[in-house]
A and B are shown apart, each in its own frame.
Chain A
Amino acid sequence: MVEQKNIPNRIFDAVNVIILLILAAVCLYPMLHVVFGSFSEPALLSSHTGFLLKPLGFTLKGYEIVFQNPNIWSGYANTLFYVIVGTLLRIFMTMLGAYVLSQKTFLLRRVFMMFFVFTMYFGGGLIPDYLLVTRLGLLNTRWALIIPSLIATWNMIILRTAFSQVPASLEESARLDGAGDMTILFRIFLPTCKASIAVIIMYYAVGEWNSWFSAAIYLPARRDLYPLQLFLREILIANSSGGNTTGAIGSSDPDIVAALIEEVVRYSTICIATIPILCAYPFIQKYFVKGVMMGSIKE
């Protein structure tokens, strides 16, 4: 952008930087507060008022208690299952659907498209969905969290757009060589559209990692199948200890100790649950812009 280096411009630039600094601080601080708090001494934390700029004292007690909670471990294992198996199944089905929709030789292409897109704007609603899952016998099983949500129509459409941009010549020469549909899908479309597929995988995986509502509805009787987020909800929101035992600390008054350390434990729990996402964060950064743009291009 070409512009004059005069005073009003300079002021604008300076104010802009200040505003954005404040914004970045506001975005970052809550997470810093949680991280610092998770390492803080309970007594110091509860008597402290104001912002946390570093851990108060240093202790791993909070983390100890979290790791001793069996629900955290089972929640983690379940979430990993849902994320890995769920994402694999979902991306597979989504790719199949996107492939079919992108094949111009498919006569029913438009019909199917309308058939799918309509479901984005109208549906049965929570209760009919719930009744269906129950009648299919999926209630209180792992599969209730995966199968009813196998395909996200929006993602399938994004992938279809990506597939239809693959040069026709690639596909033609493959067909001449005798390739069938699955070969073309996995040997040609998959490598060519790697970035798009990576974005969809990211959407599905992060979505599944963070999801809790389906589990809350469909797993009423199976705590052993709960994903991590559901236990988090118990600990953070429903104000129960969620399986945390603070008796291990050994002190004069268990009630006081429990109450004091509760906050630290909550912070530690949040950290433990969010670490994987934050670790993956730098790796998936490069897909953000592409992901968002893919979804916004009209057919």
Chain B
Amino acid sequence: MASVSPLQLSVFRGDAEGGEMVTYSVPVREGMVVLDAVLWAQANLAPDLAVRWNCKAAKCGSCAAEVNGFPRLLCKSPVADYGEEISVRPMAAFPVVRDLVTDVSWNYEVNQRIAPFTPSEADRDDPRAWRMQQVDVERAIEFRKCIECFLCQDVCHVLRNHGRKDAYFGPRFMVRMASLEMHPKDSLDRRPQLKGEAGVGYCNITKCCQEVCPEHIHITDNAIIPLKERMADEYFDPVRSLLRRLGGR
């Protein structure tokens, strides 16, 4: 291959106490992604450089970090898109464990607070009830593409800048709740939780989550906004609630 000047890869090295950016010189191969560069540095220059990764094919969502300050999957960021200098940092919305590895356990705690898929008693034991048309499952299918990389959680300013993990579940779990709420066979009413502890009201539709999603899920347009509208049906629509009361429901 024609000689290409090596990549200057600066990586955050440190832990919750603090750290510094360390620069590694990495030879460039055609088609190389940032994760390749990080792993090359790990194998050859910094054996203890901590980074999470698994599939290296953008299917598992392990290698979320910030490339030149922007939330990205390292395995899906071609080096060629960036030029000769790249900086890689851990996700800013979560506490650092070490180097590029962050403590994302909060997300798992949130997931536990969302009631699981619950079909109605009648449907559960009736095989005929499980005939579903493609158009009815399509919305849930979009949401279920989520690979839980948590880039949306990282970029969401409610969590990232305001630290309101106490008030808002974050875009990932709006998508999760939408996949349940819009599943044709889920029987639970999730609106009280949405308005309450899930805090859908904290989202102000600035759409950064949708911008960073590597699976191109329309997080805001297809999940959060429809959820806000469903919540509005219940809590912000006096006309509807009057009609409901008149209708005896």
Say whether A and B bind each other: no
Write the residues of chain A forming the contact surface with B, with a CB cutoff of 8 angstroms: none
Write the residues of chain B forming the contact surface with A, with a CB cutoff of 8 angstroms: none
